[in-house]
Structure 1
Amino acid sequence: MKRFILLTLCFCAGALSAFSQNKKVWFPDKDLIQAGVYYYPEHWNESQWERDFKQMHDLGFEFTHFAEFAWAQLEPQEGKYDFAWLDRAVALAAKYKLKVVMCTSTATPPVWLSRKYPEILIKEEDGTVLDHGARQHASFASPLYRELAFKMIEKLAQHYGNDSRIIGWQLDNEPAVQFDFNPKAELGFRDFLKKKYNNDIKALNSAWGTAFWSETYSSFDEITLPKMRQMFMNHHQILDYRRFAAEQTTSFLNDQCLLIKKYAKNQWVTTNYIPSYEDGHIGGSKDLDFLSYTRYMVYGGKDGIGRRGYRVGDPLRIAFANDFFRPIKGTYGVMELQPGQVNWGSINPQPLPGAVRLWLWSVFAGGSDFVCTYRYRQPLYGTEQYHYGIVGSDGVTVTPGGKEYQQFMQEIKNLRKKYSPREDKPKEYLARKTAILFNHENSWSIDRQKQNATWNTMAHVDKYYRQLKAFGAPVDIISEEKDFSAYPVLIAPAYQLIDEALVSRWTEYVKNGGNLVLTCRTGHKDRNGRLFEAPFRSKIDNLTGNKVDFYDLLLPEDPGKVAMDGKKYNWNTWGEMLIPGKDTDVWASYTDEFYEGKPAVTMHRLGKGTVTYVGVDSNDGTLEKDVLTKLYSTLNIPVMDLPYGVTMEYRNGLGIVLNYSDKPYEFQLPKGRKVLIGETKIPTAGVLVFK
């Protein structure tokens, strides 16, 4: 089966233009957002299908979602296909004006495949071979598995690719990066390395620093998959292995996409990721039309505000996903949003009344083109029996979450009469538009050498993100592929791996008037994770207007202090002692230890712009909050001061305010605005929409 790897690695301007045109057809502004629901015809007596589709339509759903886990029904024997049952389901859905998202069933290969071809099964590091009876047990690195999967997908695409009732395709289900020790994965890793290092083992040895501890290889055939659990395993090798593992997932999806597009007529192709931001595969399958994600908010975690905050969830969990997925392709969807109580959490409480609707409005506020929920009917058997649906176990009684979906869909239907173009947003809102530059490889590198057990890369990023949302700022979390100049402020937290090209782009951005915020642990290493043969962190000294004298790490029970503008802040995870140059202002300094008085935060003017360097990670994010507040004030960028748990966004000429906090929030309505939904005193789990 042809791999199409080269196509995976490039953007095509013509294709992007075509996507922009198709997007207007697939997701017209007048619709605001489309709502759908998962359905599994193969789980239910066919005599009930029509009743179910009719009720879906009556509740307000506009599309449904088929065949996600149905490979055994689609191909009951190798090479023998049965689409007749699915045809009947598609026809009944269409009868009730429900479009269909068709899925490839690659997360659940049938038992005949696992038994006849056991070599396709994932092998874990401890030697355990996964088996039939669950899901996602097949290896993306297995050429045979790909061949068998692509045969089934091609038949499915030939059958439905020109069917106007099918609006789009979802690939696999929640595809993740596999740390697979299948023999084919090891061979694939060697091939990956040969290609990357031009078949030059000396180049690999140099990149991996194998002179250390007698690790030198004389041929690629000596290389095995790195034992991730083995203490002190070469972290340069692990860095390449993680790149390989992510590439296996991205190429598997991309090849599916290209195969479907041979037959699809005006149908989009996406997949639904769990937002595992550090895994490195999200956004790597370049030929997908856009991305979608899965989001569950209440599952026994302690995230949330107040004593019962776990019933509402983390206030920024959906917002961060929106801001991460949207910039990748300019549009996105949410393919799986919690409808109520789930079954797989550590504790599975009921969501707070109103929370499901709050999550739906959170998805809408971020700019999503569609939202879909898992699932329509609560299952009567299988692993997810206690997972709520839109209707309960009798198949007809609408659950509390189902009623909140119904309410949201009716609200959207009413707002369609008042819609504006998607990008109709106030000038003062756009003036504070900010990007966070994110590369998962920084996390990979840091997490193998944390230096302090209390360090958490994503928590460090969140300290900046949280304050931006308090500003009421529109945020894009972007990769290096994006144009930095589109943003007045660009924040690159803990950006450890750099090269000259990136430093040059940062410098150009600042000189042309951009405002760059860099933080501790930035610029230490090259892209292979090697320290530069130069003074520590010196590759960005000219950009930051300071040097790093040294860094320190403190015990969590005995933190140090940093002072800025008369206020003190605790820190322990990481602190860099800075030596400022000319045209560099000191904003904060250490107040204790043997480096008392040393600068911790500086602001440097370069060309038309500025570089703020935050050389320390505070314990609770208050320093980061105050640094950003001071910076935006210095730049005369107007900001809001929303309490944690309250967020505000604009889209389609609508302002949306969301309250995840544990107390009512009184919102000051901008002059000339009119309330469309809710009240200005917004209760917990409440929503305000104004125009």
Structure 2
Amino acid sequence: MKKLNLSDQLMLGVCYYPEQWPEEMWEDDMIRMKHMGINLIRVGEFAWSIFEPTEGNFYFKDFDYMLRLAHKHGLKVIIGTPTATPPAWLTEKYPEVLNATVEGHLLNHGLRRHTNYTSTTYHRLCAAITEALVLNYKDNPAVVGWQLDNEFNCEIGEFYSESDHEAFRAWVQQRYGTLEKLNDAWGTVFWSQTYSSWSQVYLPRLVPGGKQPNPHLALDEKRFISDSVIAFAKIQADIIAEHAPHHFITTNGLFGHLDSHKLTKELLDFFSYDSYPQFSTIFYDANEARSLEDRSWSLTLSTVRSISPQFCIMEQQAGPGGWVNKMDMPSPRPGQLRLWSYQSIAHGANLVVYFRWRSATFGQEIYWHGLNDYGNTPNRRLAEAEKVAKEMAHISDLIASTTVQADVAIVRDYTNEWDGEYDVWHGPFGWKSGKEWFKALTRTHIPSDVLYINEETTLAELQRYKLLVYPHPAIMTKATAQLLEAYVVSGGHIVFGCRSGYKDQRGHCYMLPFPGVLSTLAGITLEEYTVVKGTREAVSIVCTDDQSTSFATSYFNEIIEPYASTVDVIAVYNEDYYKGKPALTRNAFGKGTAWYYGSVFSEEIARYLLQQLDVVSTPAPWLELPEQVELSIRGNELAQYCFILNYSQQPAAITLHEPAYELLSGKTIDGQLELAGYDVLILRKA
């Protein structure tokens, strides 16, 4: 049997929970799925108590029947290993598998994700259920792949059980080898924290003032959690790879304290993501200027694409969402379900799986609505999903083999993200500036990637882009700095913000003038810096070539001191004690340029820099598009396809200066047209 390849076709699926519905409903459900164009179902990720009602006694009869029905009606199946929700008999008999709070209190059975990743008992039990499932279904003609667990580190991403402390102690010993090296890495001479025995080493614990660990211990804690998740996932992935090599392996998520790039590279065929754009209504910041709302999910999808150029949306929002006690999300407006589906496809998804087929009538997710409401009768969401299914089948041959194309990348790395969770002197700035840059790019219709950089990143990977935006990389190794220098020397352009380059991999500050190891590339040092507290202390910068152009700064200001003759001062501060001092510089370095901004980026300053750089522009200059629509490009050596998505309820005026073939309608269009609210176009130049 050939392993399913995402590049072969676009597919539409739905999450299905047969254990929650009477058996007599199953076949009717599948007939309806197939009729509307569903290709695939995901099952089983929460069914451990069904599969193994008591320890060592496996029961697959009901699911065997359900899979026969799926095969009968031409539906492919992804099975989830059910290790995110162990049954009650397991946690009662083996309490050592439970996670604990930082205070040491066990997190009890009753929700999900209440276990730890390090218990050898849990490893054994998870391996047993995984192997039993795989052996039972490895030759089932309906099954095409496996989802490991469900949403690693969702709900909780910190672990303080006794087995976690023991595993961390072993991890630290393997990482550093000697107590001398550990004490040096963690700077334990500060406040007399020096360890004289490995038995003294723990994960963060409560200290005076609450949980305030040594910052270098806190950074290593995140590295340990990520390694623990990957080791746990490997147990299951190895079993599947051994017994069912013809099935693909994936997992879903994108949660904290996990290097999803490493996880995917080592264990998976491709990565999967759970996309709920209406979370933008829950996490909305009333103080954010010009919020992107559901369009902001495109930035997250770009992150997923950095892991897998073609990926799966394992859960695509299909209705209003909410648990009984939280997450009350409104219903998608007419057209939004289809819009969000194409948002995923436009950013690299070749498999989109709606969550879920039918709204649950009981349990914690009783208000997390699926395509079908409780009454199980036709509705507009079902109609929209059916329209998407028919359109995907129509465009599959053209789009499936394509990948997203972009000339600019927003650069990130896990080390700074993890360090920044605790370090308020740089952590909050990375997410803020990255989002503001994305706003500037997407509203000027310049597609962008997210690029995660690490010690394995090559110069060729960087050279795919004309422009790199690396907003606030406080931690910067000398090797990475040299790699970025080589990129710029070869003709690339890079932009940094404040708080860059001053820490090493351990989180120690270099004994160098700021910006540390980036000083050579930027051609500057820093004279001074200060935290900006609120609007009272906010200052502005003014451009040196046009003093009528100014921008407000926020959060942090650095006073730049150029030292290289190749540095041009682009803007200076316009007030306070550092009035007239450099705030924004450009350094000609080899064939490229390195820009340094001594503050936190806003959309306005990002737009200004794009104009000044003049190295990237919209890839479709033959289109005139308003801000309210997004442009994304998928292409291959044969053709480029322009995805145009209208995120507004209002129609958008679009002008085509050259004729183009529109894939969804099958028509050639030209000139001016009105794109309806929440509507989508896919264009190929005629």
Give the TM-score normalised by the residue count of structure 1. 0.89
Match of 1:227 in 2: 205
Partner Cα separation in structure 2 for residue 637 and residue 365 of structure 1: 16
CA distance in 1, matches of 2:388, 2:444: 27
Partner of 2:42: 65
- AA matched with 1:144: T
Select the residue among 349, 352, 370 that pairs with 2:351: 370
Residue type of the partner of 2:448? V
C-alpha spacing 1:639/1:551, structure 2 compared with 1 (3 Å): farther
Match of 2:408 in 1: 434
1:673 aligns with 2:651: no
Could you say which residue in structure 1 is the equivalent of 2:680? 687
Deviates more, 1:672-681 or 1:50-59: 672-681
Task: Extract unaligned runs of 5+ from structure 2.
Answer: none
Structure 1 residues 403 and 140, CA, compared in 2 at 3 Å: closer, same or farther? same
Trace 1:535-614 onto structure 2 (pairs within 5 A).
535-558=513-536, 559-564=538-543, 565=546, 566-580=548-562, 581-614=564-597
Matched, 1:446 2:420: yes
Q: Distance in 1 between matches of 2:99 and 2:400?
A: 47
Are 1:529 and 2:507 counterparts?
yes
User: Secondary structure, in 3 states, of the residue corresponding to 1:153?
Assistant: helix
Alignment of 1:305-344 (within 5 A): 313-317=293-297, 319-344=298-323
Residues 629 and 645, structure 2, Cα contact 8 Å, conserved in 1: yes
User: Corresponding residue for 1:660?
Assistant: 647
Deviation at 1:182, TM superposition (A): 0.4
**More deviation in 533-542 or 134-143?**
533-542
Using the TM superposition, give the Cα deviation of residue 209 of structure 1 relative to its aligned residue in structure 2, in angstroms: 0.8
Distance of 2:329 and 2:452 partners within structure 1: 35
What's the CA shift for 1:470?
Answer: 2.7
**How big is the shift at 1:284?**
2.8
Number of the residue aligned with 2:278: 298
Q: Distance in 1 between matches of 2:198 and 2:441?
A: 47
Give the drift of 1:634: 5.7
- Is the contact between residue 208 and residue 234 of structure 1 (CA under 8 Å) also seen in structure 2? yes
State whether residues 475 and 500 of structure 2, in contact with CA within 8 Å, keep that contact through their aligned partners in structure 1. Answer: yes
Distance 1:35 1:422 in 2: 16
Match of 1:45 in 2: 22
Say which is worse superposed, 256-265 or 474-483, in terms of deviation: 474-483
Gap change, CA 1:144 and 1:452, over 3 Å in 2:
closer
Residues 315 and 645 in structure 1, CA contact (< 8 A), matched pair in contact too: no
Asked whether 1:505 is paired with 2:483, we answer yes
Distance 2:450 2:403 in 1: 21
Q: Confirm whether residue 146 of structure 1 aligns to residue 126 of structure 2.
A: no
1:626 is the counterpart of 2:608? yes
Q: How does 1:122-521 map to 2 (within 5 A)?
A: 122-176=99-153, 178-198=157-177, 200-227=178-205, 230=210, 232-273=212-253, 275-276=254-255, 278-285=256-263, 286-299=266-279, 300-301=281-282, 303=284, 313-317=293-297, 319-344=298-323, 345-394=326-375, 396-416=376-396, 419=398, 422-423=401-402, 433-451=407-425, 455-480=428-453, 481-482=456-457, 483-521=461-499
CA contact (8 A) 1:471 1:639 kept: no
Work out the CA distance in 2 between the residues paired with 1:475 and 1:56.
Answer: 35
Tell me whether 1:650 sits opposite 2:636 in the alignment.
Answer: no
- Name the CA shift for 1:329/1:315 in 2 (closer, same or farther; >3 Å): closer
| Counterpart pick for 1:83 among 40, 46, 60 | 60
Poorly superposed stretches of 4+, deviation over 6 Å? 635-641
1:293 and 1:333 in contact (8 A); partners too: yes
Closer, same or farther: CA 132–421 of 1 in aligned 2, 3 Å? closer
Shift of 1:444: 2.7
Distance in 2 (alpha carbons) for counterparts of 1:375 and 1:534: 54
* Matched residues, number: 651
Deviation, 1:315, is: 1.1
3-state SS of 1:357 partner: helix
For the Cα contact (< 8 Å) 1:121–1:139, is it kept in 2? yes
Work out the CA distance in 1 between the residues paired with 2:196 and 2:91.
Answer: 37
SS at match of 2:658: coil
How far residue 689 of structure 1 moved from its aligned partner, in angstroms, is: 2.1
Deviations 1:635-660 (A, max 9, x none): 78868686554211122543211111
| Cα separation, partners in 2 of 1:474 and 1:109, compared to 1, 3 Å | same
CA positional deviation for 1:400: 2.6
Once residues 440 and 644 of structure 1 are traced to their aligned partners in structure 2, the CA distance between those partners, rounded to angstroms, is: 31
Over 3 Å counting, the alpha-carbon distance change for 1:304 and 1:414 in structure 2 is farther
8 Å Cα contact 1:378-1:391 kept in structure 2: yes
The amino acid across from 1:347 in the alignment is D
% identical aligned pairs = 29
CA deviation profile, 1:88-119 (whole Å, cap 9, x unmatched): 11110111110000110001111111111011
| Separation in 2, partners of 1:531, 1:42 | 55
Query: Which residue is equivalent to 1:6?
Result: none
CA contact (8 A) 2:282 2:329 kept: no
Whole-angstrom distance in 2 between the partners of 1:657 and 1:64: 29
Contact 1:270 1:288 in 2 (8 A): yes
**What is the CA distance between 1:627 and its match in structure 2?**
1.1
SS, match of residue 555 in structure 2:
strand
1:452 and 1:437 map into 2 onto residues whose CA distance is 15
Q: Deviations over 1:136-156 (max 9, x none)?
A: 111112111011101110111
Following superposition, the deviation at residue 305 of structure 1 comes to 11
Q: 1:648 to 1:304 in 2, by over 3 A?
A: farther
| Whole-angstrom CA distance in 1 between matches of 2:7 and 2:632 | 20
Given the superposition, is the C-alpha separation of residues 346 and 88 from structure 1 closer, same or farther in structure 2, using an over 3 Å criterion?
closer
* Secondary structure in structure 2 of the residue aligned to 1:668: strand
What amino acid does structure 2 have at the position aligned with 1:408?
A: V
Instruction: Name the CA distance, whole Å, in 2 between partners of 1:448 and 1:510.
Output: 31
Amino acid at match of 1:460: S
In 2, distance between residues paired with 1:359 and 1:68?
24
Residues 214-235 of structure 1: per-residue CA shift (max 9 Å, x gap): 1111112101221377364211
Indicate the RMSD between aligned Cα atoms, in angstroms: 2.5
Distance, in Å, in 1 between the alignment partners of 2:85 and 2:19 is 14
